[in-house]
Structure 1
């Protein structure tokens, strides 16, 4: 695993996938922080590496490889919850990456809690892969192109009259692409607006049957457990465990993915 980690650190600057509204100076600053983080990691200064990576994130960058490197640094510092959290963030952006899956599995094998996981439906897996690959902007561009083509074809139909069955089929297809693309862009934007999962970051926390310190304790969960977020109510969060069981945890015991 160590050789894989070093290789990924070398490739980190090439793995940047997102820079939202960042100026040229911001890009240069982010790349400097990435290089600094990589150097510090190789030298064994994991805290310094994390500090540099956080500065790269603050400069407006987000990438699966960056989160993977942060997970590796947290793992070296024996901060299991944060390591799993950042591996999960990396998986969200690179859902098919084998190294991410491998590192996440190694970290989760050290966690105290072991639950059989209820598999996600196939459409959920396909949707998450599509969102990670295309993103809201990509869906919007596809929908916009479909809309423009549909408008051109409609204009031709209005000004020159019906052009035959091929024209009607092309117009229908373009309109369908526009509707699906724009709807997918809206759905993908909502998907990224609110985290759907979180990781327990404290040594242990009481999962309660209702929000509030006086509610009955269903069970005790431990650091590193990955849960689905269902609902927020003040300082409490409703979560679903991998086996499908539900309960409430204090929000300050969790880190969003």
Structure 2
């Protein structure tokens, strides 16, 4: 069957129309959710916001409002989960950071953070200056500058200019290499970063990935963990204080 130009154009217009219709529907749902929230119907607001998520749409504002609604309902795990989702999209938002602190105060588990010190802390702080894409962009910029300066060095007939361009090209290639290493390190951190929120009201963490394992400790709803490994329906988790163990995958929700 042949498809002519008019059929392709019609299909394109239809897809645009459907996209605009879906976008308009989501805006209406968001506004309805906000209205229900203002009226104190937090459960109704959650339903509206989650209806937007089902369409594949997401935003920091949507997750933030979902976190607020669940917080009002005293749903500890969902409130922290959605605040964390909002932070992933907008990590520098002070309101999200403040609200997640309030929500974390409702959790039962008191887990200390192991502070980073020395070179490890310095490396973490420097890496956090830009996201992975930012470091990659800087790498490309410095690589282009190196190429241009090196061309000037190659074409220049003056010894003094050659020396200047040579030094300049060395600086830019060094900066490109440094930014590449930071981009690589940032990418690795993102790759191994697999956070999850405990949703079970109480979950036993075992020494082995099976029910016969020795009980290591118990976690409760709202606690944030890192997933290190998965075997069958068990996840090996790590807490911010360094403790590890095996926990049922169904008891947590990955971010």
Q: Tell me the TM-score normalised to structure 1 length.
A: 0.75
**SS at 2:109 equivalent:** coil
How many correspondences in the alignment?
231
Alpha-carbon separation, structure 2, partners of 1:48 and 1:183? 48
- Alignment RMSD (CA, Å): 3.0
**CA distance in 1 between partners of 2:140 and 2:107 (Å):** 46
Does the 8 Å CA contact 1:27/1:59 hold for their aligned counterparts? no
Q: Would the aligned equivalents of 2:84 and 2:100 in 1 still touch at CA under 8 Å?
A: yes
SS of alignment partner, residue 112 of structure 2: coil
Q: 1:249 to 1:24 in 2, by over 3 A?
A: same
Once the two structures are overlaid, the 10-residue window that deviates more, 189-198 or 77-86, is 189-198
**Deviations 1:137-156 (Å, cap 9, x if unpaired)?**
33332222112111112222
Q: 1:61/1:222 Cα in 2 relative to 1: closer, same or farther (>3 Å)?
A: closer
Matches within 5 A, 1:20-99: 25=20, 31-57=27-53, 58-63=55-60, 65-99=61-95
Which range moved further: 223-232 or 34-43? 34-43
- Tell me the alpha carbon deviations over residues 21-47 of structure 1, each in whole angstroms, 9 at most, x when there is no partner: xx9737656544443432332233333
2:237 to 222, 236, 239: 239
Q: C-alpha displacement at 1:168, in angstroms?
A: 2.4
- Mapped contact 2:193–2:226 kept (Cα < 8 A): no
CA distance in 2, matches of 1:31, 1:176: 48
Q: Which residue of 2 aligns with 1:119?
A: 115
Match of 1:228 in 2: 226
Deviation per residue, 1:35-78 (Å, 9 max, x gap): 34323322333334334434545444432x43222211111222
Q: Please name the residue that 1:176 is paired with.
A: 174
Moved more, 168-177 or 118-127: 118-127
Instruction: Provide closer, same or farther for how the CA distance between residues 91 and 182 of structure 1 changes in structure 2, counting only shifts above 3 A.
Output: same
Q: Highest CA radius of gyration, 1 or 2?
A: 2
CA drift at 1:236: 1.4
CA deviations 1:149-178 (Å, max 9, x no partner) are 111122222333663443223212322333
Q: Which runs of 5+ in 1 are unaligned?
A: 1-22
